[in-house]
Amino acid sequence: MRLNMASKFVNFGSKLFKSSKNLLSSAYAKRSSSSGSARKWIGARQKLLTFGALTGATGLLMYAMDASVDASSDNVHPAKQLWPHKGLLTAIDKESVRRGYQVYKEVCSSCHSLQYIAYRNLVGVCMTESEAKAEAEGITVHDGPDEDGNYFDRPGKLSDYMPMPYPNEEAGRAANNGAYPPDLSYIVSARKGGEDYIFALLTGYCDPPAGFALRDGLYFNPYFSGGAIAMGQLISNESVTYADADVAPSASQIAKDVTTFLCWTSEPDYDIRKLLVIKVFIISSFLIALTYYIKRLKWSSLKTRKIFYLPEIQENAKKAAEGAKNSK
């Protein structure tokens, strides 16, 4: 299917190029009697239009190939969710990030790592500095060498990154039937569909359809490529106990919180960049308005001036100049 779509659009692009070339050549033939400057202008226009036609055909080809890949994929496309932080003037829910970190620590950290997130990144987002220090001191870091050249174990600090669940990739594969759990630091940005895909994957476990054979140790999830996934369904109702009694720990709420947390780990500066864009827009609007006013003010005298040719004044000035010359 992918090759058929690509071949169709390649043929369409070639036909478009030939038609544009014929059109431009006929237009050029009609103007062959024009001057040399006109011929140069038509030639430049012909090149520009040909380049535009080729660029448009290439864009259509790329769009068709991407659409064919989506249409021929072997997994169900996730439904669009209304995430609060997707608005223009909205930020990531810090309470949801805090609950999502709890879900990650209690459910996901035994298999998945966050090797690009340090404990200092949690300060001001989902916990205070003292809470982050206490959280970091709960791990043991193998550090060194010291002044004597020896390695030692010490409590964690804010500058330390979150620990890996396995010492190496081989140990991770051995503990998960040959499947290595991916790092979750940038998982939302790394997967097509982003937050929608992660949420659908966590809540989309179901029984396999008739005729679908699963190997031992695999589970069926229609949102995962191929349908067979090594990670079992870990999120269910009340699988995590929240400290806030007003938030019900349903499976969808837990999945939403951990997805929001992973969205923040993928872009820790998400709110800062959005705030910067708002500031740039406000300042640019003011500067553009000021620049437009100054332009109108400075150029108004030049745009409204009028030049008159008065032969009488010129003759009088010429006579006056000759008289002054003769008097000398």
Q: Is 85 annotated as a binding residue?
A: no
* Secondary structure of residue 111 in the 3-state scheme: coil
Confidence band of 56 (pLDDT split at 50, 70, 90): confident
Confidence band of 24 (pLDDT split at 50, 70, 90): very low
Confidence band of 286 (pLDDT split at 50, 70, 90): very high
Angle at 33 between CA 28 and CA 39, to 5 degrees: 50
Q: What is the pLDDT of residue 93?
A: 92
Q: What is the pLDDT of residue 34?
A: 46
Which residues are paired to 134 by β-bridges? none
Q: What is the pLDDT of residue 147?
A: 85
Q: Please provide the average confidence, as pLDDT, over all residues in the chain.
A: 84
Q: What is the pLDDT of residue 306?
A: 80
pLDDT, average across residues 29-36: 49
Confidence band of 266 (pLDDT split at 50, 70, 90): very high
Helix (H) or strand (E) run with residue 303 in it: helix 270-304
pLDDT higher than 50, residue 246: yes
Higher pLDDT, 67 or 319: 319
Question: Would you list the DSSP string of 55-101?
Answer: HHHHHHHHHHHHHHHHHT-SSPPPPP---GGGSTT----HHHHHHHH
Question: Would you list the DSSP string of 22-64?
Answer: HHHHHHHHHTTTS-HHHHHHHHHHHHHHHHHHHHHHHHHHHHH
Higher pLDDT, 312 or 248: 248
Q: Which two tokens stand for residue 246?
A: 């007003």
pLDDT higher than 50, residue 71: no
pLDDT tens per residue across span 175-192:
888 889 999 999 999 999
pLDDT, average across residues 33-45: 59
Amino acid letter, residue 252:
S
Instruction: Please answer whether residues 2 and 74 qualify as being in contact, where contact means their C-beta atoms are separated by less than 8 angstroms.
Output: no
Calculate the alpha carbon distances from 111 to 55, 96, 230 in Å.
Answer: 46, 22, 12
> Rounded to 5 degrees, what are φ and ψ at 152?
-145, 165
Share of the chain above pLDDT 90, in %: 48
Q: What is the pLDDT of residue 49?
A: 81
Q: Is 111 annotated as a binding residue?
A: yes
pLDDT higher than 90, residue 220: yes
Confidence band of 284 (pLDDT split at 50, 70, 90): very high
Residue 256: CB partners within 8 Å, gap ≥ 6? 96, 199
Q: What is the pLDDT of residue 164?
A: 92
Confidence band of 308 (pLDDT split at 50, 70, 90): confident
Q: Is 231 annotated as a binding residue?
A: yes
**CATH topology assigned to domain 84-117+161-268:** Cytochrome Bc1 Complex; Chain D, domain 2 (1.10.760)
pLDDT higher than 80, residue 94: yes
Q: What is the pLDDT of residue 328?
A: 66
Q: What is the pLDDT of residue 1?
A: 44
Output the furthest CA–CA distance in the chain (Å, rounded).
Answer: 119
pTM of the full predicted structure? 0.71
Q: Is the peptide bond before 145 cis (omega within 30 degrees of 0)?
A: yes
Q: What is the pLDDT of residue 38?
A: 54
Amino acid letter, residue 149:
G
Write down the domain spans for the chain: 2-71, 84-117+161-268, 272-327
Q: Is 5 annotated as a binding residue?
A: no
Which of 71-85, 226-240, 290-304 is predicted with the least confidence, judged by mean pLDDT?
71-85
pLDDT tens per residue across span 107-140:
999 999 999 999 999 998 988 999 999 999 999 8
Nearest residue to 57 via CA among 28, 26, 18: 18
